[in-house]
Amino acid sequence: MATPHEEPPPVLVIEKVPVAGEQPIDARTLRIQGIPTPPHLVVYPELGSGAMGHVHPATDRNLLRHVALKRLDRDLVGEPMYRGGFIAEAQMTGQLEHPNIVPVHDLGFSEAGVPYFTMKLVQGINLDRWLRAHPLGDPARLSEGLEILLKVCDAVAYAHHRGVVHRDLKPENIMVAEFGQVYVMDWGLARLTKTRPASGQASQMEAPGAVGTPGYLSPEQARGKPAEMDERSDVFGIGAMLYEIVSGRLPYGPDVRKHLALAEQGRVYPIATTGVNLGVARGIGAIADRATAADPLHRYQTVLALQREIRQFLRGGLHLPQASFESGTVIVQEGDVGDAAFMIVQGHCRVYRTDAGRQETLQTLGPGDVFGEMALILDEPRAASVVAEDQVTALVLDQETMHEGLGLDGWTGALVRALAQRFHDLELRVRRAGLSRA
């Protein structure tokens, strides 16, 4: 065992490990561009940049791992506001230790005084690219998209507990990694709302001005009054992402040039007015509307309250097996013996009966509607046919699942069957009366 005066044992050092097939930046370019070059890091070409910083993949040769190096733009080093804000981002993020917040490893300064910090290098795509890969109508957009938001809620709720408000929640700042990990990134606009237990830091003073990204920022952020920006501002940001997942639109309409002005005015459009055929249950649209209410008092007052609503929606049936049907597919055939019921998640269906070779349309069903339940409960032939009018995704409920969920072997089952039989008998009488009149 080494004593404090002895040299530490040698370690295996990786001299050169490519990142995504790139070659390291040469020493001359690093010097010319003013890129910090800690001796233990091999730095690679820039991944991306923001308002005041640049991000590079790098290899830590001592710990044998890939990291991301974020540096302040060297032209802003002399600006106290930007320099202080960059350092505050590193320190704030470094104190938010949560599985869905990207961890910061260290903070340092180059010889020229350029601040930088290193953090976990996330291999994946941001939520914006994920949404582009899962357009409206894709079943995964809703079910998997909501699962992603639940993890975002976990991270943001934890930050709120620590007295930190993100203020720039948007798909570009949510990373979805290769194995399902979700990270809330870029805390550069974060604000302290109260003294934080770990650090004892008090709320910072801040000049008035709009904060956030148009399209996702709350009205109070657009009006630029820091004292009015609190946890409910982040509720709006998460709600705006939920709004986009559900409708493909943003709360301030399709014209991005008007988003900031509409936000200042509190002109949030209800999701039903988007003009988009949502093809999803109305309940999740109502959650998005409440989360993006213009008045903070009308929103969910905490991220945890919003998260509970989203989770309850998911538990309301989206855990059941799903089936997809192309337009024109007959899902239920009149006269067949039923062994399953269906609840529409996305798309629309037409219910019809066949009389003398002609189809008589009875009704049109949409998201949230259920069909096939009578034949499932009563073990009788289907009374009508159901055909998909467009691309349809439906939850499938079979007899085993229904018995487990409703306890149909007991008094509950007897009541459900009695009610189903009563409606069935009433329907038969109505149909016979209609036929006799004909």
DSSP state, residue 22? B
Tell me the two tokens of residue 18. 């490519």
| Side-chain-facing half-sphere of 166: CA atoms under 13 Å | 29
- Which residues is 58 bridged to in the sheet? 43, 67
Q: Which helix (H) or strand (E) holds 165?
A: strand 164-165
N residues, the chain: 438
Helices (H), 194-230: 219-222
CA quadruple 401, 406, 408, 409: dihedral sign? positive
Whether 303 contacts 238, CB under 8 Å: yes
Alpha-carbon gap, residue 305 to 311, rounded angstroms = 10
209: alpha, beta or left? (left if phi > 0; alpha if psi -120 to 50):
left
The catalytic residues are 168
The CB density around residue 312, as the number of other CB atoms within 10 Å, is: 11
| Side-chain-facing half-sphere of 60: CA atoms under 13 Å | 15
